[in-house]
Amino acid sequence: MSNQYQERSTVIRILILTVVAIFVVRLAILQIFDKEYRELADQQALRTVTQYPARGLIYDRNGQLLVYNEAVYDLMVIPKMVKIDTDYFCRIIGITRDEFDSRMKKACRYSTYSPSIFMKQISKEEYGSWQSHLYKFHGFYVQQRTLRVYDKPIAAHVLGYVGEVGDEEIKNDHYYRQGDYIGKSGLEKSYESILRGIKGKRIMHVDVHNREIGPYLNGSLDTMAVEGGNLYTTIDATLQEYAEEIMANKRGCVVAIEPSTGEVLALASAPGYDPNLLVGRVRGQNYLRLARDTSQPLFNRALQARYPPGSIFKVAQAMTALNLGVINPSSGFPCDKSLVGCHNHPSARTVQEAIKMSCNPYFYYTYRRIIQQGKYKNIYKDSPYGLTVWHDYMNRFGFGIRLGIDLPNVNSGRIPDTAFYNRRYGEGKWAFSTIYSNSIGQGEVEVVPLQMANLACIVANRGYYITPHLVRFYGPDSVRNEEYYRRNETGINPAYFEIAVAGMYDVVHGAGGTAHRANIPDIDVCGKTGTAQNAGDDHSVFIAFAPRNNPKIAVAVYVENARGGGGYWAAPIASLIIEKYIRGKVTRKDVEKMYHDAAPCQKLPLPKTVKKKKKK
């Protein structure tokens, strides 16, 4: 009998031990190994709130504020903790039941235990209207952040915009989490690591009503957010605004640079858009509308458009030929229109006259001497040699390469090389006669407007340029990029550039010059016109710098499909930009009104000099 009781006692003890073991193992799984349980437990008592830093401010060259921040709020949700009257919640927050369900599904897909954004970028006014009810909505809380505000509706392509990070951006940089924001274009993207600052965190105790009751461990685990660094740009806000106003009803662009420093004074692409359109909850629908616009307002023509340069390219051709010794300053060539079309003018007897009159046959002969230098008797060997030399010189002028401006998505244009023509025509099957259109900035040559303005800088500086850039310095320590303080030499004798300067001065001021409309009383403007052939109306092109000595500004203007040529559209617009910057105001109000109001598609009366002559 005693053995029977002993066996029962043993069985009971085993059962008790088994039950205890099961409870111990289960508790261990829940508290030690089960991550979701731990997260849920933490969420019931603690809340980790990300402290988003204020993004750095952006100023123009004169200290005018261009971009600042405004406080907004994100409504966060932890789906597993949600215990609410859904209809009441929707009525207070101001959304439909379908919207609620859609947002909750998205949050659950991310995580049912971790917080995610339920509603983003809520204004302080909207938040204030239902803030007092928030404690009733268990599983929801608000997180503060900032939103970009643009003081003036200008420089959208320069400043860029900020948007929510994508999966690829999160993958490439572990700093970011879902719901974070990042610079998507412009300076916002180029200087993202400076502007974004450093996130902090705050760990808070919360009660059963989802209300914060104090910091966890007296805030010993909290970290402070570090605000982003400010950018001090090279842009002159007044000039930028003026350039955009002049180009408002046109397609094209304006690029203005200070030659001695490479600092970009204005960079306007037309048509443009108000940068405030790509801010807040309306950003998505506005972006879609802008992207579908056939006039392409999101396309930065100043940096991305590849255009034939037209006759402005002749300046680079002349300097290259002089430095190679294939022509000299007194070289003269007949204006033989059987070689290539030209407008009516006397034959150029010097390089200076050729630049002034923009003689096409003159540069046909000049380019032929560059390409066929007589190194080989066979022209099919000689031409590739000459083209290689020419290609190198064009790169020295900044053509065919990506100028290292501090903006993303900059095009390099195209300077064709031997490989290009071998692919197109076959090796040993092309020579100068195949590619002569390059001589006058047509053919396969394509440049971006930034490179055109840079060419004006090179002539203004008599042979070198500083890489164009948009930020002078950043942060409290005034950090600067040393790359933007080095000279890029063309290796061409500076004396030859004096010839180019004289020729460009004559373009505006001399008898027979092609850009008298760019003349500004008491300011010595040096310029070069161009008319780039196009399937529709030709494009109007002009580069210039002023004053002639100690230049303060270099400008490139490109107006698409502009009737009348470079001297009629681009040249006077450039002169308005120059006068506005140098004088601070425009005195030629009649010129200003005409080009402010008119669009290139209009049939405006052309001056007699243009009517009598062919476009060049």
Q: Give me the pLDDT at residue 584, please.
A: 95
Helix or strand run (H / E) with residue 188: helix 186-190
Angstrom distance (rounded) from CA 300 to CA 470 = 15
Higher pLDDT: 66 or 9? It is: 66
Say if CB 267 and CB 159 are below 8 A apart: no
Q: Give me the pLDDT at residue 187, please.
A: 97
Residues 6+ apart with CB under 8 A from 9: none
Helix or strand run (H / E) with residue 609: helix 608-612
For residue 301, being part of any structural domain is answered with: no
For residue 266, being part of any structural domain is answered with: no
Q: Give me the pLDDT at residue 607, please.
A: 43
Across the range 440-450, mean pLDDT stands at 95
For residue 451, being part of any structural domain is answered with: no
pLDDT at 79 over 80: yes
Q: Give me the pLDDT at residue 32, please.
A: 53
Q: Give me the pLDDT at residue 81, please.
A: 86
pLDDT tens column, 223-233? 888 999 999 99
Q: Give me the pLDDT at residue 581, please.
A: 98
Q: Give me the pLDDT at residue 11, please.
A: 66
Count of beta carbons in the 10 Å neighbourhood of residue 599: 13
pLDDT tens column, 333-390? 999 999 998 888 899 999 999 999 999 999 999 999 999 999 999 999 999 999 999 9
For residue 156, being part of any structural domain is answered with: yes
88: containing domain: 47-233
For residue 575, being part of any structural domain is answered with: no
What is the token pair recorded at 454?
Answer: 């840079």
pTM of the model: 0.86
For the ranges 24-28, 73-77, 82-86, the lowest mean pLDDT is seen at 24-28
Across the range 155-161, mean pLDDT stands at 97
Q: Give me the pLDDT at residue 609, please.
A: 40
For residue 199, being part of any structural domain is answered with: yes
Nearest to 100 by CA among 114, 90, 91, 85: 90
Greatest CA separation found in the chain? 137
Nearest to 52 by CA among 169, 220, 195, 160: 195
Strand 252-258 to 116-123 pairing: unpaired
Q: Give me the pLDDT at residue 365, please.
A: 97
Contacts 24+ apart (CB under 8 A), 575-578: 575/517, 575/518, 575/519, 575/520, 575/525, 575/544, 576/242, 576/246, 577/239, 577/242, 577/243, 577/246, 577/254, 577/256, 577/266, 577/553, 578/520, 578/523, 578/525, 578/544, 578/546, 578/553
Angstrom distance (rounded) from CA 20 to CA 398 = 80
For the ranges 318-332, 579-593, 597-611, the lowest mean pLDDT is seen at 597-611
Across the range 36-54, mean pLDDT stands at 67
Q: Give me the pLDDT at residue 27, please.
A: 60
Q: Give me the pLDDT at residue 612, please.
A: 38
For residue 127, being part of any structural domain is answered with: yes
pLDDT band at 604 (very low <50, low <70, confident <90, very high): very low
pLDDT band at 3 (very low <50, low <70, confident <90, very high): low
Count the helices and strands in the chain (H runs, E runs).
23, 18
* Mean pLDDT taken over the chain: 89
pLDDT at 38 over 60: no
Q: In what order do the strands lie in the sheet with 46-51?
A: 46-51, 200-206, 212-215
Residue 219 sits in a domain of what CATH number? Answer: 3.90.1310.10
Q: Give me the pLDDT at residue 23, please.
A: 65
pLDDT band at 194 (very low <50, low <70, confident <90, very high): very high
Say if CB 352 and CB 499 are below 8 A apart: yes
Higher pLDDT: 45 or 97? It is: 97
In the chain, the number of structural domains is 1
pLDDT band at 45 (very low <50, low <70, confident <90, very high): confident
Across the range 41-49, mean pLDDT stands at 65
Nearest to 76 by CA among 163, 37, 134, 136: 134
For residue 51, being part of any structural domain is answered with: yes
Helix or strand run (H / E) with residue 361: helix 360-371
Q: Give me the pLDDT at residue 25, please.
A: 62
What percentage of the chain has pLDDT greater than the value 90? 68
